[in-house]
Amino acid sequence: MTAYASLEARFARLSAIEGASGILGWDAQTLMPEGAAETRGEQLAALRGLAHEILTAPETADTLAAVEETGGLAPWPAANLHEMRRAYIHAAAVPRDLVEAESRARSRSEMVWREARRDADFALLAPHLAELLRLEREIGQAKGAALGLDPYDALLDSYDPGMRRAVIDPLFSDLTSWLPGLITAARERQAAAGEPLPLDGPFPVETQRQLGLALMRALGFDETRGRLDISLHPFCGGATDDVRITTRYDEGDVSRALLGVLHETGHALYEQGRPAAWRHQPVGAARGMSLHESQSLIVEMQACRSREFVSYLAPLLREAFGRSGPAWETDNLFRLYTRVAPGFIRVDADEATYPAHILLRYRLETAMVAGDLAIADLPGAFNEGMGELLGLTVPNDRLGCLQDIHWPSGAFGYFPTYTLGALAAAQLFRAAKAAAPALPGCLAQGDFAPLRTWLRANVHEQGSLLSTDALLERATGAPLGAAAFRAHLEARYLGDA
């Protein structure tokens, strides 16, 4: 076995361990009884510790160095070697005892969050979140020292390789300069048109589930390599060739679960479309969370809130729930699904006000990592920001800082990727339509093949061969920017799209 082949074997084993952790994590959020939480935490800590031990073993470092010195690899193996080195640097910066401590703290915090969110009781979560933040800051400092980055950028790099605050801050500043005016103009225009008609429920959960499954199939989800379940917070997880997506149901609101399913299916298509030959290697992984979020948002926001798709969806809704009348016609449904209205819940936000939720969370988590915002002060700072950015008075912490699982699960540095993903989605969708002009008409028939085929070739099958900007430049002709997103919002909400 060559030195490079031995590295591939080592990283294939790591992929298997990470997949097992992914399934255990999925189970913890869907089916696991509450009494098993502590034991599950130990199981996950052991697996993550084992993966860390394999990745940081002296022979890993020695073999990496030997292969790098030899060189001469073809493009895909060379990119794989680069990703192996990147993974090694991240792992070697953090001692195993810190990895396992963080994993246990994360498991405890996630379980307490469920109870705290249910009871709108931030004080219950606070000590667990404070301990987890302490560990995340320690990890950020360790990785930052190894990477030459500040702690927040080091944590961000774990989710979005190469992304830095120096890139994010100008993009978010640009958004802040024009988005409030666009929101005001869109709301004024919609107010002049009058309120859309509400859909009359109830909407049985099983009917919603079957409709969601039908749309997943239309999108191209491979049910032999994935499944749909229920969780408190929708997500896409699982393992390679076993992609688990979840949603949550409300019998009084059909859109919440439906749009959640479409969003998570976008993630799942990326996972199922990764390059088969490299699926168990670092270069076969999704490039980063900004691109991952672009794939969920290109499905949910760009494609499935288009007038063309809504014209396809309208008769499906009428048939599924046995309804008829003006409220269930395409024009009214399109107005409902493109309604701009500030709300408390991030995952239910429209695409125009959604960035405000991310700007707030980005501001708060950078302050927490820097040590400038104490956990005890988080609810007040969150509520103040909601008032400033969205004009809302938060009535309780369930609708405030307890609504998301990200911080209780240790995901500091993740939030900005949602809005970065929205920018990328707009660029990619514009390029896809230019390459396949029939695409909008196909959406009106429920035919996602042109969009899926373009995304497979230009995003999914590229894995981590390219950097995010290099991939976007190849696919769209430009690095990540806000221009396409602005043009999209202006066309949909101020034009006739």
Specify the pLDDT at position 104.
95
Starting at the earlier edge strand, list the strands of the sheet with 226-230: 226-230, 242-247, 236-239
Q: What is the pLDDT of residues 290-348, one digit of tens each?
A: 999 999 999 999 999 999 999 999 999 999 999 999 999 999 999 999 999 999 999 88
The pLDDT tens digits for 362-416 are: 999 999 999 999 999 999 999 999 999 999 999 999 999 999 999 999 999 999 9
Catalytic residue list contains 365: no
- At residue 453, the 3 state secondary structure works out as helix
End-to-end CA distance of the chain: 58
Cα separation, 260 vs 246, whole angstroms: 8
Q: Residue 140's Cα: distance from chain center in Å?
A: 21
> Which of 372, 373, 361 has the alpha carbon at shortest distance from 411?
361
Q: What is the pLDDT of residues 96-121, one digit of tens each?
A: 999 999 999 999 999 999 999 999 99
Euclidean distance between CA atoms 247 and 225, whole angstroms: 18
User: Which of 250, 263, 275 shows the shortest CA–CA distance to 219?
Assistant: 263
Q: How many CA atoms lie within 13 A of 302 on its CB side?
A: 30
For the chain, 497 residues long, give each residue's pLDDT as a single digit of tens. Answer: 799 999 999 999 999 999 999 999 999 999 999 899 999 999 999 999 999 999 999 999 999 999 999 989 999 999 999 999 999 999 999 999 999 999 999 999 999 999 999 999 999 999 999 999 999 999 999 999 999 999 999 999 999 999 999 999 999 999 999 999 999 999 999 999 999 999 999 999 999 999 999 999 999 999 999 999 999 889 999 999 999 999 999 999 999 999 999 999 999 999 999 999 999 999 999 999 999 999 999 999 999 999 999 999 999 999 999 999 999 999 999 999 999 999 999 988 999 999 999 999 999 999 999 999 999 999 999 999 999 999 999 999 999 999 999 999 999 999 999 999 999 999 999 999 999 999 999 999 999 999 999 999 999 999 999 999 999 999 999 999 999 999 999 999 998 65
* Mean pLDDT taken over the chain: 96
Nearest to 29 by CA among 126, 106, 143, 139: 106
Q: Identify the CA nearest to 480 among candidates 293, 231, 279.
A: 293
Tell me which residue of 404, 399, 422, 435 sits closest to 492, measured CA to CA: 422
**Joined tokens for residue 158:** 């774990």
Q: Determine the pLDDT at residue 232.
A: 84
User: How is the chain split among helix, strand and coil, in percent rounded to 5?
Assistant: 70, 5, 25
- Measured in residues, the chain has a length of 497
For residues 411 and 376, what is the distance between their CA atoms, to the nearest angstrom? Answer: 19
CB 400 within 8 A of CB 392: no
How far from chain centre, in Å, is Cα 12?
24
> 8, 83, 102, 264: which is the annotated catalytic residue?
264
Q: What is the DSSP string of 12-81?
A: HHHHHHHHHHHHHHHHHHHT--GGGHHHHHHHHHHHHHHHHHHHTSHHHHHHHHHHHHH----HHHHHHH
Kindly report the pTM of this predicted structure.
0.95
pLDDT at 497: 55
Contact 83, 283 (CB under 8 A): yes
**DSSP letter assigned to residue 195:** P
Residues 6+ apart with CB under 8 A from 465: 75, 76, 79, 283
> Rounded to 5 degrees, what angle do the CA atoms 114, 385, 261 make?
45
d(CA 467, CA 481): 15
Q: In which region does residue 162 sit, left (phi positive, over 0), alpha (psi from -120 to 50) or beta (all else)?
A: left
CB atoms inside a 10 Å sphere around CB 219: 20
- Judge whether 292 and 421 are in contact, CB under 8 Å: yes
The Cα angle at residue 393 between residues 203 and 363, in degrees rounded to 5: 100
Tokens of 475: 């696919």
